[in-house]
Amino acid sequence: MAIHRVATAAELGDMQIAVDLGPEIDTSGLPTERRTRHNLEVARALSAHNRMDGALVKILEAESWAPEQVRSHYLARELVLTWVRNQRGRPSRSLADLANRRHVV
């Protein structure tokens, strides 16, 4: 299954495969937990390629499906914390709100 390929590529550090395949995969038929995890993996890959807007959209989408899972997932926390720390100037409203919900600021 393609989502496993994306997850494996991301875990092994091959973010290009995850960026190329991840956003195109239709996860609508999967359980919410799996869809959420996939979005987090895609967000990590997009972030690694400095595509922060797309990564933020993926996390916000995942949060809309499973706020508890995103709130407690290490990957979401790590990404948001990194984005906040690396911001030049004020973060976008979406990022600031997400960081507040994640209690990383």
Domain extents in the chain: 2-102
Burial of 77 (0-12, 13-18, 19+ CB in 10 A): middle
Tokens of 7: 């997850």
**What is the structure's pLDDT at 76?**
92
Residues 54-78, mean pLDDT to the nearest whole number: 93
- pLDDT for the residue numbered 105: 66
Environment class of 31 (CB within 10 Å of its CB; exposed 0-12, middle 13-18, buried 19+): exposed
User: The pTM is what?
Assistant: 0.88
Q: φ and ψ at 30, to 5 degrees?
A: -90, 160
pLDDT digits (tens, 9 = 90+) for 5-35: 888 888 888 888 889 988 889 999 999 999 9
Quickly list DSSP for 30-53.
S-HHHHHHHHHHHHHHHHHTT-HH
Both tokens assigned to 46: 């997009």
Write down the mean pLDDT value for the chain. 90
Average pLDDT of the segment spanning 77-98 = 88
